[in-house]
Amino acid sequence: MKLYMVAFDLHNARNYELLYQFFTLMRAVRVLDSTWLLRSTADAGALMNAMRRYSDRDDAFAVVEIVPGADWATAHVPPAPVLLLRHSDAMLAIA
């Protein structure tokens, strides 16, 4: 499975509940208010298209694959995403 960082910006209607349902189904981990980590076998485009089904047409998304050896840093984020990032090399090697 691939590890992705997903960021979004909801515009007019701002219906977060539908998008949160998607993240719950994907067992995503929240990093910041509008940034999540999730694992999937899908490619970035497929994930973005799936999220768009849970949002409005004018909402913005960025989906970035976190590859083994990726450099990252965090400050004042919850422990769960930090652990996921810290162990991503080992988890991605197994997948």
pLDDT of residue 89: 62
Taking the domains of the chain in order of start, what are their residue ranges? 2-94
Q: Helices marked H in the chain — which ranges?
A: 16-25, 44-52, 79-86, 88-94
CATH architecture of 2-94: 2-Layer Sandwich (3.30)
Burial class (CB in 10 A: 0-12, 13-18, 19+), 58: exposed
pLDDT of residue 95: 43
Q: pLDDT tens, position by position, for the chain (95 residues)?
A: 899 999 999 888 777 888 899 999 999 999 999 999 999 999 999 999 999 988 888 899 999 999 888 888 889 998 989 888 887 765 544 44
